Each structure stands twice: as structure tokens, then as C-alpha cells.
């Protein structure tokens, strides 16, 4: 789940608890206060989340160094997710992986088609600064794995927030190059979209935000639907 909108910590705790009780398998917290302007931030909220959550969670945003990751993991997160800082300093992936193990290191990739080629975007948290890196997505997918990423979250920007379904073609192309767990992001609008992305793009997980935040798709309904279509899910 993506906490993209600005919410205060109290609300995050409540939301985290709600998703835990509804059967979410993992939560991702996008710390928008930490990125992209480089301020030092108070990370005590992570501990408050860690105390109440008994499922894995990942923190994304503002992790630019081994020390940042150490703090986030030390507060109780399972994983850190890096995106723009990895593009600025790809060696960061290697350092994090060597220090904490690949399983802690998620690389988020924002990608969309430009002139028929999937390309990577940076600083997508801030519309003013969002830029095309001119990196080809499939090359970057290979590189981050070589550097020790243990999981890739592919956010297909053109689908994001539109709720018309995941970008199956792009996710399938990335899947073919991806030997670590691949998580689909961007586009979930209905329970059928989840079944399609698991069956057709063979992703390991599907991430969604607004469709859950708004209550449009309750997690228990989604899970019982997926079970009925023979996709193995935790009850």
C-alpha cells in the first residue's frame, strides 16, 4: 500500500492497524517528508508502527546512505526501498546489500514508455523535479539485481492513479529480466486487475494504494475473490 497523500502520524497508525486487521500481507510507507529535499527527518514514527504491526513493512523515501537504512531498520522496518538515490548513486544498492543482505533492499523503479522504449524516471515524488533519466528500464532492472537488490517494485507511471489496471505488457517485459521478487505497482482499480497481474505478468506481489484507502476494494473481498480464482493467498 502506498501512503502517497499527506497524512499525519496518528492517521498512519490507524490506517496501518486497519490494513493489518483486514489481512494485508505487507505495508509500504512512503515517507514524503524525507524526500526529495534532503532534510534530516524524525523517524520515530517507524518505531510506533513497528510496535503495532505484526506483518512485514517497508519504508521508502529519504534513504540515501547506509546510516539512513541502519536507522530505519533499527526502528523495526523489515526493508528499505530506494529509488531516486539509487539512480544518483547506483553503488548505494551494493553497499546496502552488503551490509544488510539483499532481502532488506528494495529498489523502486518509476517507468513509462517514451518513443516505444520503457524509460526510468527520477524524483517522481515532486512533479516540478520529475525527470526522464534516459536510462532504459530493462537495463536498470538488470543492473540493480547485479548490484544486490532483493526485490523490485515497478511503478508503471502511465497507469498510476488511473485505476484502469496494471500495465501487463511492461510488467511482463520486466518479469522476463527479473530473477528477484517483482512487485507490480500502479493501476489497480478492481479485483480482476489483481488476478490478471498475477496470472499474466507472473508478479510476486501487487501493490495498491488509493483503491484500498478509499475503501473501494476491501482487502478481505479481494482475497476471497483471488482464492476463488485459484490464486494462493493468505486468508
Partner 1 sequence: MQLAIIDSGGANIASLRYAIDRLGMASELTTDPDKVRAASHVILPGVGAAADCMSRLQKTPGLVETIRKLRQPMLGICVGMQLLFESSEEGEVPCLGLLPGRVRRFADRDDLPVPHMGWNQLEFEPGSPLLKDIQPGDHVYFVHSYSAPVSPLTVASATYGEQFSALVQSGNVFGAQFHPERSARIGSLLLRNFLQLQQTQ
Nearest Cα residue to 175 out of 144, 142, 148, 213: 142
Does 121 sit near partner 1 (CB under 8 A)?
A: no
- Asked if omega into 167 is within 30° of 0 (cis), the reply is no
Q: Nearer Cβ to partner 1, position 165 or 205?
A: 205
Does 22 sit near partner 1 (CB under 8 A)?
A: no
Q: How far is the CB of 24 from partner 1 (least distance, A)?
A: 10
Among left, alpha and beta (phi > 0; psi -120 to 50; other), residue 207 is beta
Does 50 sit near partner 1 (CB under 8 A)?
A: yes
Site track 132-171 with partner 1 (rule: CB under 8 A), x = hit: ------------------xx--------------------
Q: Nearer Cβ to partner 1, position 62 or 150?
A: 150
Whether 187 and 162 have beta carbons less than 8 Å apart is answered as: yes
Whether 235 and 23 have beta carbons less than 8 Å apart is answered as: yes
Does 200 sit near partner 1 (CB under 8 A)?
A: no
Length of the chain measured in residues: 235
Query: Which residues within the stretch 65-104 sit at the binding site for partner 1 (CB under 8 A)?
Result: 73-76, 78, 100-104
Q: What is the enclosing helix (H) or strand (E) of 199?
A: helix 191-200
Does 235 sit near partner 1 (CB under 8 A)?
A: yes
Distance of CA 46 to the CA centre of its chain: 17
Rounded to whole angstroms, the Cα distance separating 207 from 182 reads 10
Q: Nearer Cβ to partner 1, position 4 or 64?
A: 64
What is the binding site for partner 1 (CB under 8 A)?
20, 25, 47, 50-51, 54-56, 73-76, 78, 100-104, 150-151, 178-182, 204-205, 234-235
Amino acid at each position: 500500500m502506498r501512503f502517497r497523500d499527506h497524512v499525519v502520524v496518528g492517521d498512519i497508525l490507524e490506517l496501518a492497524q486497519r490494513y493489518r486487521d483486514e489481512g494485508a500481507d505487507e505495508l509500504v510507507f512512503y515517507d514524503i517528508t524525507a524526500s526529495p529535499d534532503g532534510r534530516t527527518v524524525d523517524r520515530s514514527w517507524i518505531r510506533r508502527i513497528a510496535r503495532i504491526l505484526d506483518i512485514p513493512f517497508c519504508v521508502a523515501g529519504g534513504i540515501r546512505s547506509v546510516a539512513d537504512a541502519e536507522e530505519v531498520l533499527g526502528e523495526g522496518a523489515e526493508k528499505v526501498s530506494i529509488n531516486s538515490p539509487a539512480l544518483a548513486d547506483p553503488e548505494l544498492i551494493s553497499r546496502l546489500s552488503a551490509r544488510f543482505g539483499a532481502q532488506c533492499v528494495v529498489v523502486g523503479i518509476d517507468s513509462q514508455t517514451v518513443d516505444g522504449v520503457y524509460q526510468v524516471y527520477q524524483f517522481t515524488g515532486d512533479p516540478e523535479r520529475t525527470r526522464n533519466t534516459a536510462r532504459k528500464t530493462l537495463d536498470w532492472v538488470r543492473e540493480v539485481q547485479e548490484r544486490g537488490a532483493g526485490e523490485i517494485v515497478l511503478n508503471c507511471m502511465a497507469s498510476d492513479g488511473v485505476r484502469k489496471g496494471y500495465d501487463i505488457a511492461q510488467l511482463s517485459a520486466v518479469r522476463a529480466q527479473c530473477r528477484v521478487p517483482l512487485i507490480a505497482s500502479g493501476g489497480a482499480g478492481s479485483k480482476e486487475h489483481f488476478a490478471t497481474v498475477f496470472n499474466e505478468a507472473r508478479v510476486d506481489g501487487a501493490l495498491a494504494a488509493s483503491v484500498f484507502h478509499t475503501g473501494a476494494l476491501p482487502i478481505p473481498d479481494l482475497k476471497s475473490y483471488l482464492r476463488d480464482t485459484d490464486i494462493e493467498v493468505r486468508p
